[in-house]
A and B are shown apart, each in its own frame.
Chain A
Amino acid sequence: MITTHRGWPLPSAAGTLPDVGVELIVAVIAAVVALISAAITLYGQVRIAKYQGEVTRAVEKQKFLQSLYADIGVYCTEQNAALREAYLTLFEREGSLDADGATVGRLASKVDGEVMSPLRKHEALLDERTRAKIYEIHNVIAQLRGTPSPATISNFKSFRNDFYGLIEEARELLRPSAVLSRTEISN
């Protein structure tokens, strides 16, 4: 370094310009590195947020399906029990269909209400096949409502095996996983 007689450094135009150029390049490189680093961080955060969103949606869907499955399970249990009880009440309990028309009609109304109660509570969750099968059974029992004629009661007694067959068909349909699958919500 060139100095004065007192030892102070002399300004040198030739020495200053390269120093400023290097500092500028270093500063630009540092800024670019910082920008790239920030961009990578931002990109990572966006990807993580997107992934977290997907995971959250998958978990929410799973929770929804589990609660739906639980509700359908309750429905299937209640509906199966009501159908079995209807069969037992109408055909297995002594004298149920041997009473007068008005008494049979009242019994049929009660049984019909019990068969339709689970369906009405959970109808929004159900597929068309399940609904149609329960309505099919309801449409048979409902013909005994009011004051059925002796001929109607006799026809109903003859329908015993078919009625049992309808309940068995319903039992096949009333499996929670099958109902859920037919709703197509789980797909």
Chain B
Amino acid sequence: MTKIRNISDHVIIIHYMTLGSGEAMPVLDEGLLESEDVQALIAAGDIEVIRDDSH
């Protein structure tokens, strides 16, 4: 399972979703990872994408 973790020290908003600092969420919509706002957050070092194949 792929997750997005907020590694910034502030709350981030992705589409309809709100992610607090340090919180992670499962990615069910793989299109999220391709979206501009998520790409921008990755580039800014605000989020990391975790791939957990054991799930």
Interface residues of A (CB under 8 A from B): 112, 128, 132, 135-136, 138-140, 142-145, 148-149, 151-152, 155-156, 159, 162
In contact, A152 and B28 (Cβ under 8 angstroms): yes
In contact, A132 and B23 (Cβ under 8 angstroms): yes
- Expressed in whole angstroms, the minimum distance between the Cβ of B14 and any Cβ of chain A is 8
- A184 CA / B15 CA spacing, docked (Å): 32
Residue B19, interface by CB 8 Å: yes
Q: Which residue of chain B lies nearest to A137 when distances are taken between CB atoms in the complex?
A: B25
Q: Chain B contact residues (Cβ within 8 angstroms of A): what range?
A: 10 to 19
- A38 CA / B35 CA spacing, docked (Å): 81
Interface residues of B (CB under 8 A from A): 15-20, 23, 25-32
Known: A132-B23, A136-B23. A159 touches B28 (CB 8 A): yes
Number of A-B contacts (CB under 8 A): 48
In contact, B31 and A152 (Cβ under 8 angstroms): yes
Q: Which residue of chain A lies nearest to B18 when distances are taken between CB atoms in the complex?
A: A135
- A138 CA / B14 CA spacing, docked (Å): 12
In contact, A140 and B20 (Cβ under 8 angstroms): no
Known: A132-B23, A135-B18, A145-B16. A140 touches B28 (CB 8 A): yes
In contact, B25 and A139 (Cβ under 8 angstroms): yes
- A135 CA / B12 CA spacing, docked (Å): 12
For B26, list chain A residues within 8 Å (CB).
Answer: 140, 159, 162
In contact, B29 and A132 (Cβ under 8 angstroms): no
For B20, list chain A residues within 8 Å (CB).
Answer: 128, 132, 135
